[in-house]
Structures are given as C-alpha cells and as structure tokens.
Amino acid sequence: MSDRPINVVLLTYPGVQTLDIAGPLDAFTAASQARPDSYSFRTVSLTGAPLVTESGLKITPDCALYEMPGIDTLMVPGGAGLRSPGVAEEIAQALRNLASGCRRLVSICTGIYAVARSGLLDGRRVTTHWRFAQDVARLFPALSMDSDKIFIKDGQFYSSAGITAAIDLSLALIEEDYGPQLALTVARELVVYVKRSGGQRQFSEPLKFQAKAADRFGELAGWIAGNLTADLSIEKLAARTSLSPRQFNRRFTEAFGEGPSTTIETLRLDAARDHLTGSNAAVEAIATAVGFRSGDAFRRAFDRRFGLGPSEYRRRFAPMLSPRRHSTGRRDTIFNGRAETKINGRGETNDTNDTLAID
C-alpha cells in the first residue's frame, strides 16, 4: 500500500444504525493507533448537516459527501432510515456518481437497500442481515443473495451481514490492506477473540433449531447442543419430552422438518466446526468431544456434509491458528464439548470457552 493513509469514508443519514458506524470506526481507529498513518476515517452525509441515529445518538458528520476528496473505501451502513425509498434513492444516485472513483464500495447490514438500488450490485453475490435477506432478494431480483454468509466480496463491492458483522468485514479489509498481523492486533484490541471468515454462518445451528420451535422442542435443541456426548437415543430424548418414541419421532420431524438423527448430527458437526476454528485440539479429540463414536465416523460425516475433511476445513477457515507453546507445558484440550486448558497433566481450566486466544 501507499505510505499515505487509506481514506475510509462512512456515509451516514438520519436513522442510521449506531453500531454500523461505531464498529468500523473503532476497528479502523485501532488499526491507525497500532500502525500510525494507516487509515484516515471520516463520516459524511449527503448535506453535511447533523443527524440523529436510529437509537437517538446525535452525530455531526465531518462534511458533505461531495466535499470529501480522495475516497478509497466508501461504506454505507444500515438503519431504519435507509428503508425509506426517498432516502435510499438519494444515496443510490450519489453512489452511481462516485463508485468509479472508489477502490472499494461496502454495504454494511441493511445498507444494501441503497447500494442495490443504485444498480451497481446487479448480477453480483451479496449478503445482508438474515432478517431482511428475503425482502432484499424480492425487491432486487438481479442480486445473487447468500443470506448465510458473514460477508462477501465480489469485485470492488463488499457486503456484510447484520450489525456486528461490520467488525468482521472491517478486519478483513485491514488484513487485505496491511496483512494478518495488523488485523489480529485490532481484533485483540477490540476483544474479538475469533476473527471470523466471511464464509462462516451468520448464526449457529442451535439457534436455527430453537427459532423453528418455541415449545418443548426448541428447549430440547438447546439441551442437545450442550450435551452432545450424552445418550441421545430416541428413547432417552422421548423420555425428556414425556412422549413415546413413536410420538416423539413424529412431533420432532414436524417441528424441524427432519428426523432426530439428522438434527443431532447437524448439531455435532456445527460444534465440531467451532472447535476446528477456535481451538488447537486434535481431530480425534474433537470427534470424541462432540459425540462421534470414532474419528473415522466423524471424518466421514464431516466430508459427506461439507464436501471436505475436518483438517482441510480448519486450514481454510482458521488460517492463522497455530499451536500454543508455553513454558508451563500448557496445551489445549476439550472436555464435554468445550475447550479447556490442561496444565502439566492436571485438568485445570483457564476459561477459554472454546475461543481462539490471540497471543
């Protein structure tokens, strides 16, 4: 990159989502503190006038959008204010005029309502907040919507999922500009323990299952996710819900659209993916921790579901995860589906809770 700071500009408007501004602002500020003169970060609006965010925070932009010279990265945050057609169209027109002069154009969360309206994303892969994905796809059928991704890059255009995913995307932009070390430094400063890849999902499988069923089966999905090594036979699960095995199987399938064995395997594989990207544990240990009978059974199920093995998945989605080496002889291990630390052969824990510690 040039020795000159990269000019990152965030376009605000009345009713903008506060976190969509604050997340990137803090990420790029932390980057500039760790590496002086790496970024300049400015907020603008169409007119430069003060505005109030969706949560009531008053903001005074640095200037009007057209007064800001040399924009490298233009970010459009989401917010209820943007879902007003008049506001969205004004911003869309500005984007049409400015996009060719920007190296990157970024849609954060529901900022896509304005960016998509500009026509600049037609034919491109995008994502947004999962709750608005169907509406965006309906309004803008020329987009290729992938509602399950944290963020997506397609050419000079970037889009992120809901709210805090803006931090994940900001870290990815920092890594793209200055390499992984600065991105990890910023992640540590923001106490973001796991730097998520854009290919990871917006929310976990247990949450999906709980969202599908608010009754006893929703609670059961949460219990299963926390007890993956327990006896999860139909008979045992039926007893927990006070149903006969036959009734349980039928009611479960009605609630989730799939049988209990498929759901259990999905939850086990989901937990395994978290371990693969957030701990240094061996594949065999992860298989045991999430309830598979053997490492071979785990590998077969993982490859069948995702089209690649556990080790390859770890290589792709946790590229900077390296084994810990401490003079104390500390090493990561897993007990009951959660990561702990074993010190000198004793089962002492340091409350890592299956997150990647960025040293």
99 vs 338 pLDDT, higher one = 99
Q: How far apart are CA 168 and CA 183, in angstroms?
A: 10
Q: CA 227, 231, 235 angle in degrees (round to 5)?
A: 120
- pLDDT over 90 at 191, yes or no: no
Instruction: Write down the pLDDT at residue 83.
Output: 81
Do 276 and 310 form a contact (C-beta atoms < 8 A)?
Answer: yes
Q: What average pLDDT score do residues 190-215 get?
A: 58
- pLDDT over 50 at 69, yes or no: yes
Instruction: Write down the pLDDT at residue 300.
Output: 95
Q: How far apart are CA 250 and CA 271, in angstroms?
A: 26
Would you mind telling me the total number of residues written for the chain in this entry? 359
Task: State the pLDDT confidence band at 340, using cuts at 50, 70 and 90.
Answer: very low
- Residues in contact with 258: Cβ distance below 8 Å, sequence separation at least 6, in sequence order: none
- Residues in contact with 276: Cβ distance below 8 Å, sequence separation at least 6, in sequence order: 283, 286, 310, 313, 314, 317, 318
- Residues in contact with 89: Cβ distance below 8 Å, sequence separation at least 6, in sequence order: 117
Q: How far apart are CA 318 and CA 356, in angstroms?
A: 9
Alpha helices in 109-164 (DSSP H): 112-117, 133-139
94 vs 324 pLDDT, higher one = 94
Instruction: Write down the pLDDT at residue 48.
Output: 96
Q: Which residue has the tokens 């007003």?
A: 84
Instruction: Write down the pLDDT at residue 352.
Output: 33
Please name the amino acid found at residue 233. S
Give 63's strand partners. 44
* pLDDT (tens digit per residue) in 26-45: 999 999 999 999 999 999 99
| Domains in the chain, CATH or no CATH each | 6-189 (3.40.50.880), 205-317 (1.10.10.60)
Mean pLDDT of the chain: 83
Nearest to 189 by CA among 181, 177, 197: 181
- pLDDT over 50 at 335, yes or no: no
* pLDDT (tens digit per residue) in 123-154: 999 999 988 999 999 999 999 999 888 899 99
Instruction: Write down the pLDDT at residue 39.
Output: 98
Instruction: Write down the pLDDT at residue 217.
Output: 74
Q: How far apart are CA 175 and CA 190, in angstroms?
A: 15
Q: How far apart are CA 265 and CA 14, in angstroms?
A: 46
Q: Backbone phi, then psi, for 260, in 5-degree steps? A: -60, -40
